[in-house]
Amino acid sequence: MADQFKNFIGGEWVAPSTGNYFENRNPARQSDLIGLFPRSGREDVDRAVAAAKKGFEEWRLTPAPARGDILRKVGDLLTERKDEIAKAATREMGKTIQETRGDVQEGIDTAYYAGVEGRRLFGKTVPSELRNKWAMSVRRPIGVCGLITPFNFPLAIPTWKMFPALVCGNSVIIKPAEDTPHTVALLVEILEEAGIPAGVVNLVHGLGEEVGSAIVEHPEIPVISFTGSTDVGSIIGAQCGRMHKRLSLEMGGKNAQIVMPDADLDLAIDGVLWGAFGTTGQRCTATSRLLLHTDIHDEFVERLIERARKLKLGYGLEKDVDVGPLIHEASRTKVEEYFEIGKQEATLVLGGERATGEGLDDGFFVQPTIFVDVKPGSRLATEEIFGPVLSVIRFSELDEAIRINNEVKYGLSSSLYTRDSVSSFRAFQDLDNGITYVNAPTIGAEAHLPFGGVKQTGNGHREGGWEVYEFYSETKVCYLDYSGKLQRAQIDNYDASPY
């Protein structure tokens, strides 16, 4: 009998009002049923909102350093249970255990960083233009935050959203991806153990078109944070715009690694293998385009193919596995469609087929795939695939590579391999992305730095770092006039004005 999981609302684990559940299966071994999770509905979201509003009234008055203390305890508990959570994440998401340990570590780092920020929610004290008048600004919480998270980082991304929202004094309702609900359930268990008050954190499982839509459309959820596809993000953006909600979007990417003739080619090959095929290419920061200078193109491709052939596919908990499965059948179907598109547009030099054989037939595996002779502006070069597919583009000079990088609609991450400092600073200045690496792959994030992109990758807000705390809080300006008389700004101060 499969385990049957529950929602977490108002400090209690409760069954969905619908009475319906969906299966969560291991994408590497579809015969492995992880459990049954609530297929919740609008009534469950309404109940979560009522609990979150009640929890918010207590939590917003809790001193921010005390809120931070709870998050530091969460970090301690995550550390104690790191391997357990990593194994659970690999089982339901598919990436290797080394990667899911990194996923959990990111959550640990985010917890400790948020804990410190509980003592750093600074406002400003500003001189008033009038006598005997005090002027200052403070940060204050907003209310209930709706958090909608993807499958590819089932622990890290929920913490990116949840922990800053909490330390700022908000309550939250989180809907994890239906492909990875178990990892978030474990995270909420840890928050409960750490002492988070009832109603401050609420977990509602379900489908995006049901629970996700109900969260976005709910009039009493003023803040929405979404990570997912650009198409869905556009729909959410339109709805939040109509309702005047605060919204953070982190969406697609079509990231390029540029390799110059003076680069350390061994380092660059290591980078593109990790960037293109880590997490089976299912990262918004994945290296999906490889831009090679014509002087090193042929040698680089030959060496890259040789290395990529040796990548081992399999279940991420098994020894020496490099590449896991795609998340579900629809994802594999999409990737296979791009195999056919690529065969029409470019030259296939590796992969391009479903991966079969011992240990692979019960999962959603495809071969790591490389196309060369890819033309800028083609579908392979411009559309997000979200799988282990690398498109190689030839260029002759850095200006051309920068132009190719910038011509897509996305702008998340980019990478340049070079030993030249001038080229490095050209990349920082001219590559139209929210993140640029030099001599490192396009993937990777640090908890204390902002994360996000430009153009159709996002809407200007950032996850992580110091900027996310501004998203989850409002600025309030406070004046104290102790002059004992009516003073009128600008009018009473007219004689002192230089204008």
Cβ atoms of 469 and 160 closer than 8 Å: no
Can you tell me the distance from the alpha carbon of 148 to that of 174, in angstroms, rounded to the nearest whole number? Answer: 6
Has residue 404 got a pLDDT over 70?
yes
User: What is the chain's alpha carbon radius of gyration, rounded to the nearest angstrom?
Assistant: 25
pLDDT at residue 495 in the model: 59
Has residue 320 got a pLDDT over 60?
yes
Q: Nearest 5°: phi and psi at 348?
A: -80, 125
At 2, the pLDDT band (50, 70, 90 cuts) reads confident
- Of 191, 27, 172, the C-alpha closest to 107 is 191
Cβ atoms of 107 and 187 closer than 8 Å: yes
Residue 141 neighbours by CB under 8 Å, 6+ apart? 56, 59, 60, 168, 169, 170, 472, 473, 474
Nearest 5°: the CA angle 164, 166, 171 is: 135
pLDDT at residue 420 in the model: 98
CA separation, residue 468 to residues 230, 452, 480 (Å): 20, 11, 29
At 497, the pLDDT band (50, 70, 90 cuts) reads low
Side chain identity, residue 241: G
- In terms of DSSP H, where are the helices of 28-96? 42-59, 64-80, 82-93
Instruction: From the candidates 284, 302, 345, 470, give the one annotated as an active-site residue.
Output: 284
Cβ atoms of 24 and 16 closer than 8 Å: no
| Owner of token pair 């030259």 | 347
Beta bridge partners of 227: 250
Can you tell me the distance from the alpha carbon of 186 to that of 188, in angstroms, rounded to the nearest whole number? Answer: 5
Structure tokens at 38: 């609530």
Has residue 499 got a pLDDT over 70?
no
pLDDT at residue 161 in the model: 98
pLDDT at residue 327 in the model: 98
Per-residue pLDDT tens for 150-198? 999 999 999 999 999 999 999 999 999 999 999 999 999 999 999 999 9
Per-residue DSSP letter, 211: I
The yes-or-no answer on residue 168 being catalytic is no
The yes-or-no answer on residue 284 being catalytic is yes
With both helix axes pointing from N to C terminus, report the angle between 398-406 and 421-430 in degrees, rounded to the nearest 10.
20
| Owner of token pair 């209690």 | 12
Cβ atoms of 64 and 189 closer than 8 Å: no
Instruction: From the candidates 106, 250, 384, 463, give the one annotated as an active-site residue.
Output: 250
At 290, the pLDDT band (50, 70, 90 cuts) reads very high
pLDDT at residue 490 in the model: 85
Per-residue pLDDT tens for 51-109? 999 999 999 999 999 999 999 999 999 999 999 999 999 999 999 999 999 999 999 99
Cβ atoms of 44 and 204 closer than 8 Å: yes
Counting residues of the chain whose pLDDT is more than 90, the rounded percentage is 97
Can you tell me the distance from the alpha carbon of 87 to that of 3, in angstroms, rounded to the nearest whole number? Answer: 17
Structure tokens at 145: 């935050």
